Amino acid sequence: MENLPELRLRPDLLDTVRYAAAMWEFQLLHFDHERARVEGLERSIVQGPLLGTYLARVLAPAGEVEHLEWRNHAVVPVGTDLVCGGTVDPETGAADVWIRNGDGTTVVTGSARVRS
């Protein structure tokens, strides 16, 4: 297995608004802090599918992503420092990917297949 280059991000409100616009998915929890607080959250949260796009970006140096699936294990508040990474088997293209928050907690895990 080879390590994939890590990607460091801090998604902000502009990222979540842009993603919402691109996907026509305007759930207020993703860009309205007041609405998020009403729902019991500290602040707005990053969309789960946006986290999936970060995993695809991590995989890109390994080749064309043929398959990607992931599981969100925790809510990711807007403004959270994230580190995305993983490993890939260069012979088979099988990959494992993850996203960790600033304190090292794994918030997303996934698996993928890439073709180089």
pLDDT attached to residue 80: 98
Q: What is the CATH number of domain 2-115?
A: 3.10.129.10
Residues of the chain with pLDDT > 90: what percent?
Answer: 91
What average pLDDT does this structure show over 6-18?
A: 96
Return the amino acid letter for 41: L
pLDDT attached to residue 25: 86
Cβ neighbours around 50 below 10 Å, total: 19
First to last CA, the chain: 14
pLDDT attached to residue 26: 87
What is the rounded CA–CA span in Å between residue 54 and residue 60?
10
- Taking Cα atoms as reference points, which of 33, 67, 54 lies closest to residue 101? 54
Residue 66: beta bridge partners?
none
What average pLDDT does this structure show over 56-79?
A: 98
**Spacing of C-alpha 6 from chain mean position:** 12
Output the average pLDDT for the chain: 96
Residue 92 above 90 pLDDT?
yes
What is the rounded CA–CA span in Å between residue 56 and residue 75?
19
